[in-house]
Amino acid sequence: MRKTKVSHVVEHFHMKVLSGEEGLGREIAVTDLSRPGLQLAGYFSYYPADRIQLLGLTEVKFFETLSREDRLQRIEYLMADETPCIVISRNLPVAEEILQVSEKKQVPVLQSPLATTTLVSKLTNFLENRLAPTTTIHGVLTDIYGVGVLILGASGIGKSEAALELVKRGHRLVADDAVEIRQTQGGQLVGSAPELIQHLLEIRGVGIINVMTMFGAGAVRSMKNIAMVVQLELWEQRKQYERLGLDEEKIKIMDTEIPIITIPVRPGRNLAVIIEVAAMNFRLKRMGFNAAVHFTQRQAEAIEDSDSEL
Which of the following is catalytic: 243, 252, 255, 305? 243
Report how far residue 297's alpha carbon sits from residue 289's, in angstroms, rounded to the nearest whole number: 13
What dotted CATH number matches 4-130?
Answer: 3.40.1390.20
CA distance 191 to 148: 9
Predicted TM-score (pTM) of this structure = 0.75
Residues 6+ positions from 178 with CB-CB distance below 8 Å: 136, 137, 138, 193, 194, 197
Known catalytic membership, residue 12: no
Q: Of 159, 172, 182, 221, which one is the catalytic site residue?
A: 159
Pairwise CA distance, residues 280 & 290, whole Å: 11
Q: What is the DSSP letter of 40?
A: H
Pairing mode, if any, of strands 33-34 and 16-19? unpaired
DSSP letters spanning 272-305: HHHHHHHHHHHHHHHTT--HHHHHHHHHHHHHHH
Q: Could you say which of 90, 177, 283, 285 is catalytic?
A: 177
Q: Tell me if residue 138 is catalytic.
A: yes
Helix (H) or strand (E) holding 137: strand 134-144
Contact (Cβ atoms closer than 8 angstroms) between residue 4 and residue 131: yes
Binding site as annotated, residues for ATP: 153-160
Domain ranges for the chain: 4-130, 134-294
168 is catalytic: no
Residue 65 has a pLDDT of 93
What is the topology classification, in CATH, of domain 134-294?
Answer: Rossmann fold (3.40.50)
Give the C-alpha separation, 158 to 66, whole Å: 69
Q: Are 10 and 24 in contact (CB under 8 A)?
A: yes
Q: Which residue type does 43 have?
A: Y
pLDDT of 291: 66
pLDDT in tens, the chain (310 residues): 688 999 999 999 999 999 999 999 999 999 999 999 999 998 888 999 999 999 999 999 999 999 999 999 999 999 999 999 999 999 999 999 999 999 999 999 999 999 999 999 999 999 988 888 899 999 999 999 999 999 999 988 999 999 999 999 999 999 999 999 999 878 899 999 999 999 999 988 899 999 999 999 999 999 999 999 999 998 887 777 666 666 778 999 998 999 999 998 888 788 999 999 999 988 888 888 766 666 677 767 677 766 666 5
